Chains A and B, each alone.
Chain A
């Protein structure tokens, strides 16, 4: 199992670090003390202070806006409305970009336009709400707002360019076998 492997390496790292810290503090090993006091502790304290709340927000989001409800709207509405729905769908998800490909395939099968399929990919990579909370927490509201503000027109433009290019090329999204 992949997950167990990840947990194992995490656990090993954490245990090794705890031992390293105890050793450093008691023997007065300066690099260890500096790593602990100047780096590790401030970084961790900051995250513990607000991350649980962020995840509570994500959980609430999940129960109030279930993905299945949104998915029903996809494909039915064309144009701007359809675009809005794929963006909303994308913001509710989490995970790496390659996790979005199967959903893009589904959207395509449900009748979404080329443009909306790629807007979905763009929104998925840049507007996921769970990730935005992380971004605001670690990089600040100013950075997150600016980045979002600039990224939205960029990925919409990319989708339009791709649509223009693919329009007469018998574009199809396929499910890998």
Chain B
């Protein structure tokens, strides 16, 4: 996170030196975007704070922890496939879940299916690409998410 902050400040300075007007515009744009999502962000943090208090930690770990096995992956994948959560809400949520003990591979499964698989939007996708292609893409993406999650599980302890 520190790296990211330093990088941003560094790029900001360079950008400012090259083109002051563009930089001001960019900063304004960014802050406007932040202001736009701010209420949603805060209310999600509120809801997650409450839900995490209400759900006993051992229950959460039982279903999504590192020892939950295949069930944890499947549960996370299913959740990711059917939900329509925007990323700016999904990542804070995922971050909090990790802090509560949910394992990284399970989170990877959730995040990847959330982004690549969309069961709810399948009818819409089918109108663009055809039903068969849409189903095929979603199935392949789900399998792909399993691969990504397993690879993260395999490599996590090594690095």
| Chain A residues with a Cβ under 8 A of chain B | 6-7, 9-11, 13-14, 17, 31, 34-36, 39-40, 43-44, 47, 50-64, 94-98, 101, 104-105, 118, 121-122, 125-126, 128, 130-131, 133-139, 141-143, 146-147, 150-151, 154-155, 157-158, 161-162, 165-166, 171-176
Binds A, one of B58-66, B70-78, B114-122: B114-122
CA distance A104 to B127 in the complex (A): 12
CA distance A161 to B141 in the complex (A): 11
Q: Which of A62, A122, A125, A176 contacts B124 (CB 8 A)?
A: A176
User: What are 21 A-B pairs at a CB distance below 8 A?
Assistant: A14-B46, A39-B48, A40-B46, A56-B30, A57-B11, A57-B12, A58-B29, A59-B28, A60-B15, A60-B27, A63-B25, A98-B124, A118-B137, A126-B115, A142-B159, A150-B148, A151-B144, A154-B148, A158-B140, A166-B133, A174-B127
Q: Which of B98-140 contact A (CB under 8 A)?
A: 98, 104, 107-108, 111-112, 115-116, 118, 121, 124-125, 127-130, 133, 136-137, 140
**Do B43 and A171 have beta carbons less than 8 Å apart?**
no
Q: Which of A17, A54, A63, A122 contacts B116 (CB 8 A)?
A: A122
**Do B129 and A173 have beta carbons less than 8 Å apart?**
yes
**Do B155 and A146 have beta carbons less than 8 Å apart?**
yes
**Do B8 and A57 have beta carbons less than 8 Å apart?**
yes
Closest CB of chain A to B116's CB: distance in Å? Answer: 5
Could you mark each residue 80-112 of chain B with 1 if its beta carbon is under 8 Å from any beta carbon of chain A, else 0? 000010111001101110100000100110011
Number of chain B interface residues as a range: 35 or more
Q: Which of B3, B88, B125, B136 contacts A134 (CB 8 A)?
A: B88
**Do A58 and B30 have beta carbons less than 8 Å apart?**
yes
**Do B148 and A60 have beta carbons less than 8 Å apart?**
no
With A64-B15, A125-B116, A131-B91 as contacts: A143 and B104 at CB distance below 8 Å: yes
